[in-house]
């Protein structure tokens, strides 16, 4: 895909009813930029976890930005929730813990994950790099 066809997509006010639309969009764009199928699925799963958390803890809605580039695809999820503890998602929670696996899982699935959080909300940025094409 060349630069001329790469288009930033912003989905404001995403609710639980929109999760399947978000998953389809990420799948389509990931495929278009050249991610391998298993990497598309990993990004869809990671984004679903993050968007679902943002909706649950961010006043029932989130903003999802999908930024395709020639070298990677970035999915950014923002909410207006109360923020996260600084170490949330950096370690796998204990088996008996009720919460905390979504951020950890997303971190394992993506090439890069960045979290910025404070009392006014949280921004999670997921990045999946397009593998260089093999020349035959």
- pLDDT tens for 10-48 read 999 999 999 999 999 999 999 999 999 999 999 999 999
pTM of the predicted model as reported, rounded to 2 decimal places: 0.88
* Architecture of domain 3-129 in this structure: 2-Layer Sandwich (3.30)
**Coil, strand or helix: which one is 54?**
helix
**Six-digit token string for 74:** 């970035």
Rounded Cα–Cα distance for residues 123 and 12 (Å): 14
**pLDDT tier for residue 134 given thresholds of 50, 70 and 90:** very low
Structure tokens at 62: 């989130």
pLDDT per position as a tens digit, 43-84: 999 999 999 999 998 889 999 999 999 999 999 999 998 887
3-class SS at 88? coil
């Amino acid at each position: 895909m060349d630069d001329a066809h790469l288009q930033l997509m912003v989905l404001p006010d995403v609710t639980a009813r929109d999760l399947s639309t978000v998953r389809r969009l990420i799948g389509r764009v990931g495929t278009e930029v050249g991610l391998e199928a298993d990497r598309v699925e990993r990004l869809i799963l990671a984004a679903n976890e993050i968007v679902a958390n943002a909706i649950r803890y961010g006043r029932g809605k989130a903003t999802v930005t999908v930024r395709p580039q020639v070298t990677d695809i970035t999915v950014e999820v923002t909410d207006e929730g109360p923020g996260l503890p600084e170490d949330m998602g950096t370690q796998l929670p204990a088996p008996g813990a009720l919460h905390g696996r979504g951020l950890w899982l997303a971190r394992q699935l993506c090439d890069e994950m960045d979290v910025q959080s404070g009392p006014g909300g949280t921004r999670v940025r997921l990045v999946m790099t397009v593998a260089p094409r093999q020349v035959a």
